[in-house]
Amino acid sequence: MPYPTSKSLIKRLKRPVTAITAYDYPAARICDETGVGLILVGDSLGMVVAGNEDTTSVTLDHMVYHTEMVRRGVHRAVLVSDLPYATYETPEMALNSSLRLMEAGADAVKLEGGFGQISKLERLREAGIAVCAHIGMLPQRVKKEGGYKKKGKSEEEASNLIRAAIALEQAGAIAIVLESVVAEVAAKITDSVEIPTIGIGSGSECGGQIRVIHDVIGGYPWFVPPFATVHGDVARVMQQSVGKFIKEVSLTTEKQ
């Protein structure tokens, strides 16, 4: 069965693109039924699900497993899966890793980086695999860069980001995630390309926005990114519900 074409996926990404990072069947199904346009199986599961400090511990097997469960809940949205750290060092590695994610149910894969990823993107395009690009702050390089830093502050860095976005579009990317890019630079990138830009911590003038489901619903109380607006308090509801369960069991046991 042929994979979805890049052209067809771009048509499905209606602006403004609403994108949610989800990791399991119930979350994916709820997001899909609610009308989210793109669902990302993100390697951020290394932090949000597994409790690690960054994304670099996530393996391809982890991503395949979570892609399979998310796929079961998605019938409308475009489903994109992250290529995890150190699984796309060469064009052939990128192809082999992407094939596994596509077989698990992804409509497209996402890779981090700019000019250095062009040959890999082109190899995937030749194989009929759609690619979402990701520039700006790159979580997989957080150890190398010594932390999470805003990108595009200098004129040179801003120019490089704009040129990289144009090159990625020309190489066949269906969309570009802009993470922690200076808002004015993100706006210029958005104006410079025809494919959607999807912002996270990059201002409101992108072609859409992406957030981790836990940040939207208040499901991760230990840390909320400064750019995220919390629209629920799921963590508190869970605490209250579990507390009531504990009381239920205690009362039931006392009566025996």
Model pLDDT for residues 143-176, shown as the tens digit of each residue:
998 889 999 999 999 999 999 999 999 999 999 9
pLDDT of residue 252: 84
Q: Which amino acid is at 91?
A: P
Q: Own/partner pairs for 5-12, CB < 8 Å, 24+ apart?
A: 5/128, 5/130, 6/108, 6/125, 6/130, 6/131, 6/172, 6/174, 9/78, 9/107, 9/108, 9/130, 9/174, 10/174, 10/175, 10/195, 10/196, 12/37, 12/78
pLDDT of residue 256: 66
Retrieve residue 213's tokens.
């489901």
Positions in the chain whose pLDDT score sits under 70:
1, 255-256
C-alpha span between 2 and 10 (Å, rounded)? 17
Strands (E), 4-54: 17-21, 38-41
Residue length of the chain:
256
pLDDT single digits (tens) 63-77: 999 999 999 999 999
C-alpha span between 72 and 10 (Å, rounded)? 22
Residue identified by tokens 């040179």 is 156
pLDDT of residue 197: 98
pLDDT of residue 54: 96
Q: Which residues are catalytic?
A: 179
Q: Which helix (H) or strand (E) holds 147?
A: none
Domain 6-217: top CATH class: alpha beta
pLDDT of residue 1: 66
**Overall pTM surpassing 0.85 (yes/no):** yes
